[in-house]
């Protein structure tokens, strides 16, 4: 027995087994998109020494993001990790999912070794472990990622609650869009999704739809590397099967309904437009935020604005200029700045006190702005979905129809001319029945096969 083994035995005898076996990984910055959610997606940037085989391969010891070997990541690496996490968080924002960079095995006291962590991920239902890292080159060579299918909801064995995304095969560690869409895709598999393909009747043309090589929009469950938008789709996954991506994700056991962002969904229940201070004209973007989701939890449909929720905000103005912008996407990376890779194509309207349209912005751009001068009165801001997109019908117009969802996060920026506190004095003059902002700044709710391995 070597001296080292002797020492280990002594340490074990003293009960320091965890210390003796802990594998060292850099600590990732802590991000959570929805703490307390029913489902957890742990996105692991810290590296993993994978014990044994996964699927039909042997991944080996996967280095941490950017091959970092220290105890922490550099500021630049942390910013990059945030960029990737934010995009994945947005893909799953309509669902009861916490996308996190914090290892749940640590809080559970199950992080003594990577083998112990792996067993914990497997044994814990509704927990998925996605490794962003580069395995040995023979591990599913040529794939951008790999996952078992339908393994998120229930306990697993053999590492099936772990899946993979390989930055080295996607353009490198800063290929944020590619890493994001590959991650959303592999996690989609874990949630039970199959590949969105192109079909002519029952004949498969492409297993992975690229939406006729569109540079604008493509299905996350196809291939969306070359498209600006990677979104969920309703379309064929076999000759005889249509898959509704958001419905299938939501149908995971215990997932619950699409997220309710707490913003009023009707004129009558409109949320008071939050301002940065009681006297400010500036919209508080940290509170004026929501998530547009399908109206129906049991039969969500992508086409038609009425198939999506709307967010209503109400404000009073003493008259004057207003500039209101709905920013599609979250603000996970920088507060007040819309993240890239948004999922929602929004429509913005201003309505008068009777609900009549005063102004609308409904451009092909994901974000919308209205600059307007308003007469004194009460108004509503309505944020809605653009109402979905038809997929391309293919080079000869002969592919079966499919549809993309316009759903996801948004927040408001800009200003409106609101009555000043001095308006109180004007009330005595009978100027403004509506003229002072009684409305409380409502604190918004938490907006806020035998499975076969499927390679991306
Ligand atoms: Zn796939």
Rg (Cα) of the chain, in Å, rounded? 25
**Of 236, 220, 222, nearest to 400 (Cα)?**
236
Q: Average pLDDT, stretch 184-209?
A: 98
Q: Average pLDDT, stretch 217-241?
A: 98
Q: Is 335 helix (H, G, I), strand (E, B) or coil?
A: coil
pLDDT at 395 over 60: yes
The pLDDT assigned to 24 comes to: 84
Q: How far apart are CA 137 and CA 173, in angstroms?
A: 16
Range of weakest confidence among 22-26, 27-31, 61-65, 409-413: 22-26
Q: How far apart are CA 320 and CA 244, in angstroms?
A: 45
Q: In the CATH hierarchy, which top-level class contains the domain 3-190? A: alpha beta
The reported pTM is 0.88
CA atoms 164, 165, 168, 172: torsion sign:
negative
pLDDT digits (tens, 9 = 90+) for 126-143: 999 999 999 999 999 999
One DSSP character per residue, 59-118 reads --EEPPGGG--SSB--HHHHHHHHHHHHHHHHHTTTSSEEEESS-HHHHTT--SSHHHHH
pLDDT digits (tens, 9 = 90+) for 429-452: 333 333 333 333 333 332 223 334
Q: How far is the CA of 189 from the centre of ligand 1 (A)?
A: 7
pLDDT digits (tens, 9 = 90+) for 255-268: 999 999 999 999 99
Q: Is 189 helix (H, G, I), strand (E, B) or coil?
A: helix
Q: Average pLDDT, stretch 288-317?
A: 98
Q: How far is the CA of 27 from the centre of ligand 1 (A)?
A: 29
**Mean of per-residue pLDDT scores for the chain:** 89
The pLDDT assigned to 431 comes to: 31
The pLDDT assigned to 388 comes to: 98
pLDDT at 14 over 70: no
Q: Average pLDDT, stretch 68-88?
A: 97
pLDDT at 49 over 50: yes
Q: How far is the CA of 89 from the centre of ligand 1 (A)?
A: 19
Domain boundaries, the chain: 3-190, 271-427
Q: Average pLDDT, stretch 52-80?
A: 97
Q: How far is the CA of 223 from the centre of ligand 1 (A)?
A: 9
Q: Average pLDDT, stretch 166-194?
A: 98
Q: Average pLDDT, stretch 57-67?
A: 97
Higher-confidence position of 421 and 346: 346
pLDDT at 363 over 70: yes
| Position 218 confidence tier, pLDDT thresholds 50, 70, 90 | very high
Q: How far is the CA of 231 from the centre of ligand 1 (A)?
A: 14
Q: How far is the CA of 222 from the centre of ligand 1 (A)?
A: 7
Topology of domain 271-427, CATH: Jelly Rolls (2.60.120)
Q: How far is the CA of 303 from the centre of ligand 1 (A)?
A: 25
Q: How far is the CA of 166 from the centre of ligand 1 (A)?
A: 13
Higher-confidence position of 13 and 343: 343
Q: How far is the CA of 212 from the centre of ligand 1 (A)?
A: 18
């Amino acid at each position: 027995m070597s001296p080292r083994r002797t020492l280990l035995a002594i340490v074990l005898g003293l009960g320091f087994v965890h210390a003796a076996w802990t594998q060292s990984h850099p600590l990732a910055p802590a991000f959570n998109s929805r703490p307390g959610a029913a489902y957890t997606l742990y996105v692991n940037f810290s590296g993993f020494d994978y014990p044994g085989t996964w699927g039909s391969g042997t991944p080996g010891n996967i280095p941490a993001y950017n091959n970092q070997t220290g105890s922490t990541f550099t500021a630049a690496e942390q910013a990059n990790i945030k960029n990737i996490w934010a995009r994945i968080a947005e893909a799953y924002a309509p669902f009861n999912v916490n996308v996190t960079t914090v290892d749940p095995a640590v809080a559970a006291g199950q992080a003594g070794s990577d083998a112990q962590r792996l067993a914990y991920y497997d044994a814990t239902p509704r927990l998925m472990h996605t490794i962003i890292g580069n395995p040995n080159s023979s591990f599913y060579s040529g794939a951008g990622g790999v996952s078992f299918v339908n393994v998120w909801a229930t306990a697993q064995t053999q590492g099936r609650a772990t899946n993979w995304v390989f930055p080295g095969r996607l353009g490198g560690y800063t290929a944020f869009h590619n890493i994001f869409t590959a991650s959303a895709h592999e996690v989609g598999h874990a949630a039970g999704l199959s590949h969105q393909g192109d079909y002519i009747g029952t004949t498969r043309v492409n297993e992975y739809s690229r939406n006729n090589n569109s540079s604008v929009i493509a299905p996350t469950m196809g291939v969306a590397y070359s498209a600006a938008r990677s979104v969920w789709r309703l379309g064929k996954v076999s000759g005889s099967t249509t898959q509704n991506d958001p419905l299938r994700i939501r149908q995971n056991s215990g997932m619950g309904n699409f997220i309710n962002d707490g913003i009023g969904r009707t004129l009558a229940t409109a949320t008071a437009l939050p301002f940065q201070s009681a006297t400010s004209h500036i919209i508080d973007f940290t509170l004026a935020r929501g998530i547009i989701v399908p109206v129906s939890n049991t039969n969500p449909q992508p086409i038609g604005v009425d198939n999506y929720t709307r967010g209503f905000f109400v404000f009073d103005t003493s008259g004057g200029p207003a500039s209101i912008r709905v920013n599609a996407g979250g603000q996970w990376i920088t507060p007040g700045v819309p993240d890239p890779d948004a999922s929602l194509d929004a429509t913005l309207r201003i309505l008068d006190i009777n609900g009549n349209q005063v102004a609308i912005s409904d451009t092909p751009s994901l974000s919308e702005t209205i600059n307007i001068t308003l007469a004194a009165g009460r108004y509503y801001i309505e944020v809605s979905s653009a109402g979905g997109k038809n997929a391309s019908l293919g080079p000869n117009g002969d592919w079966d129809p499919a549809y993309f969802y316009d759903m996801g996060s948004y927040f408001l920026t800009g200003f409106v001319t609101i009555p000043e506190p001095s308006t109180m004095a004007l009330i005595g003059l009978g100027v403004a029945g509506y003229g002072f902002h009684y409305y409380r700044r409502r604190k918004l709710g938490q907006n806020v096969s035998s499975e076969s391995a499927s390679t991306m």
